[in-house]
Amino acid sequence: MENVTERIVDALRCPVCGAPMRYDATCGAGQLLCLGTRTHNFDLAKSGYVHLAPRHSGGGDSREAVRARTAFLSEGYYRVAVDALCELIKTYAPEGLVVDAGCGEGYYTNRVAAMGQHAVCGFDLSRDAVDSAAKAARREGNGARYGVASVFELPLADGSADAVLNIFAPCSEAEYARVLKSGGVLILLGAGERHLLGLKRALYDEIYENAERADLPEGLDLVEQRTVRDVIEVTGAEQIGHLFSMTPYYWRTSPEDKRKLERLETLKTEIEFDCRVYRKA
Ligand SMILES: C[S@@+](CC[C@H](N)C(=O)[O-])C[C@H]1O[C@@H](n2cnc3c(N)ncnc32)[C@H](O)[C@@H]1O
């Protein structure tokens, strides 16, 4: 595990001045110290995550959103997605440093770390999300490390990552290309055309398939695309509410349509994930 921490610290760069960093375990929960001419210090939180975003940055998902997603994902409804992700990593980046950009509470990140073949770190703007991710990693003893940082400004050296994961989070192609090694891969996982069609059927009179996302990479080489699908039955109004709150429809649906979900005890829906692997030349 020490080796894993060393590999991650080697790749980290100070978010203030860009200098390499070292880990100091002697103080509190531990500290990251930058090796620049003016030393910048970053204390680890009790759970083990570290804040590496500029002070003024905020945002990312709220505590309530993190709790709802954790409650839903931990039931295994998206098992096919995490299984596909692990398979793609085994194929395209069997070892090395894996960075999960926009990792949320680490559902996918911790599964990758549990494979035991990689040094794994996750970054997200939400402090509540990375705190929850770090706690889960510690409970599981999988060695994953977490930080607060924007996907548009990752605190990592150029060419340091073997794989970047981007799962239902904003895609920042230029930044991912910067941190990837030559030959490294970006694995993108997002909603397929028929993802959550059953949820839409329950909410709306007129339903439509999802359009292709607008932020797909343009400069990296697409080496594999696959669609993974399943049908799930979500049980209980609370769990259906958790799923609904994870979706963009939560913010766009009228109060009358939202009330339709309150009457449901089970929801059967297609889930469909679009997985793409891009390689940096
Ligand atoms: C829909 S969630 C997905 C989380 C996780 N990848 C998953 O699929 O379980 C999107 C995540 O992106 C994070 N996020 C949004 N904008 C971000 C940014 N600019 N930098 C880092 N994280 C961001 C949010 O805080 C949230 O945790």
pLDDT in tens, the chain (281 residues): 668 889 999 999 999 999 999 999 998 889 999 999 888 999 999 999 999 987 655 678 999 999 999 999 999 999 999 999 999 999 999 999 999 999 999 999 999 999 999 999 999 999 999 999 999 999 999 999 999 999 999 999 999 999 999 999 999 999 999 999 999 999 999 999 999 999 999 999 999 999 999 999 999 999 999 999 999 999 999 999 999 999 989 999 999 999 999 889 999 999 999 999 999 99
Site to probe by mutation for ligand 1, drawn from 62, 72, 80, 168 as the one with most ligand atoms within 8 Å of Cβ, is: 168
Is the CB of 148 within 6 Å of ligand 1?
no
Is the CB of 110 within 6 Å of ligand 1?
no
Site to probe by mutation for ligand 1, drawn from 79, 125, 176, 186 as the one with most ligand atoms within 8 Å of Cβ, is: 125
Q: Are 205 and 257 in contact (CB under 8 A)?
A: no
Q: Is this model's pTM higher than 0.95 or not?
A: yes
List CB contacts of 54: < 8 A, sequence separation 6 or more.
Answer: 15, 16, 153
For ligand 1, atom 19, name the residue with the nearest CA: 150
> CA torsion 184→190→193→199, rounded to 10°?
160
Is the CB of 64 within 6 Å of ligand 1?
no
Site to probe by mutation for ligand 1, drawn from 56, 61, 244, 249 as the one with most ligand atoms within 8 Å of Cβ, is: 61
Is the CB of 125 within 6 Å of ligand 1?
yes
Beta bridge partners of 31: 24, 43
Q: Are 182 and 159 in contact (CB under 8 A)?
A: yes
Cα–Cα–Cα angle for 221, 226, 228, rounded to 5 degrees: 150
Question: What's the gap between Cα 180 and its chain centre?
Answer: 16
For ligand 1, atom 7, name the residue with the nearest CA: 104
How many alpha carbons lie under 13 Å from residue 168 in its C-beta half-sphere? 22
Tokens of 70: 């954790």
Residue 37 is predicted with a pLDDT of 86
d(CA 114, CA 137): 9
Is the CB of 124 within 6 Å of ligand 1?
yes
26-38 as b/e, with b when 16 or more CB fall inside 10 Å? eeeebbbbbeeee
**Which atom belonging to ligand 1 lies closest to the Cα atom of 151?**
20
**Which atom belonging to ligand 1 lies closest to the Cα atom of 129?**
27
Is the CB of 169 within 6 Å of ligand 1?
yes
Strands (E) across 84-216 are located at: 96-101, 118-124, 145-148, 161-167, 180-191
In eight-state DSSP terms, residue 264 is: -
CATH class for the domain made up of 2-279: alpha beta
Residue 4 is predicted with a pLDDT of 82
Of 163, 118, 125, the closest CA to residue 49 belongs to 125
For ligand 1, atom 1, name the residue with the nearest CA: 168
**Which atom belonging to ligand 1 lies closest to the Cα atom of 167?**
6
> pLDDT, tens digit, for every residue of 49-87?
999 987 655 678 999 999 999 999 999 999 999 999 999
Tokens of 149: 């940082």
**Which atom belonging to ligand 1 lies closest to the Cα atom of 61?**
25
Is the CB of 241 within 6 Å of ligand 1?
no
Q: What's the CA-to-centroid distance between 61 and ligand 1, angstroms?
A: 7
Q: Are 179 and 161 in contact (CB under 8 A)?
A: yes
